[in-house]
Amino acid sequence: MGMGVYNRIPAENIRITLHALSELMGYAHTMGVDRIRLAATGALRYAENGREVAIQIERETGILCDILTDKEESFLSFTAVRNRVSPQGSLTVADVGGATVEVMYGNFDTPSDVQSYTLGCIPMTETWFHDDPPGESAWRKARSAILEELHSILSVDSTIVGCGGAFTSTAALLRGLRHDTIPLRGYEISENNVTEIGLLASTLTIKGRYALPGIGQARSVLVPAGTAIIAALLSKWGRPCLVSDRGFAWGLLLDTWKRVSSDT
């Protein structure tokens, strides 16, 4: 949804969101869906008017808009990655979203520790990437600033998996440039890989990034910030990571399916 100045959801963004929800609900009903679950993450959780927006959504759609806590959101992402990548032993999951970065640590299906940072792709884009193209200097400054904000992140010796649009688009772009046929699921990326992609993206206009393989129109705006965040994370850990093509949304689906199944 995105936050504007003063940490508030702008009216235009609310209008666009309500229109999109109306279209999605109409499509769901034509498909025979009789239960709809609506969950909000960091954008509403941290916005000053997040609760107001949730109430407006419920009033206009008739569906409760549940603003998840960072731990609830992290549980869903962790569950999805664990089910998708199925690593052995301990697992660290980094979910780079639009509003926040969630880092989860655990040995089984539930994370034992969660760290949440308001360093998502949208606020980082608004803070550091004003010009088009932004240039390599802006990318390096953003990465350094994010690295400082991650000072409290835990060191790990577990399998590291990244999920969310920033990770999947970065991996897809790297695959496209390499002409790889390796599946996105479990694809390995390193700090050097991500830095290379980030510096390339920072020298291109938004339109130029859109022409790159694996990048959609909406994601082309966020690539510089997304790669700066991922490069900072991998720098802190000093290790490459795997990429999961399923994250929070898939975890929400799994959790909803379990709830529905238990009701029948």
Task: Phi first, then psi: give them for residue 39, nearest 5 degrees.
Answer: -125, 140
User: ∠ at Cα 106 (239, 149), nearest 5°?
Assistant: 55
The one-character DSSP state at 6 is: G
pLDDT of residue 217: 79
Question: Counting beta carbons within 10 angstroms of the beta carbon of residue 190, is it exposed (0 to 12), middle (13 to 18) or buried (19 or more)?
Answer: middle
Query: What number of other Cβ atoms are within 10 A of residue 144's Cβ?
Result: 12
pLDDT of residue 6: 47
pLDDT of residue 5: 44
pLDDT of residue 55: 96
Residues in the chain: 264
* pLDDT profile of the chain (264 residues), mean per 10: 65 94 93 91 91 95 93 91 80 92 86 91 94 97 97 89 94 86 87 96 95 84 97 96 94 89 74
pLDDT of residue 62: 92
Closest residue by Cα to residue 229 from 149, 136, 133:
149
pLDDT of residue 245: 92
pLDDT of residue 196: 94
Q: What is the rounded CA–CA span in Å between residue 260 and residue 76? A: 16
Question: What domains appear along the chain, each with residue ranges and CATH number?
Answer: 5-67 (3.30.420.40), 70-249 (3.30.420.150)
Closest residue by Cα to residue 251 from 72, 2, 94:
72
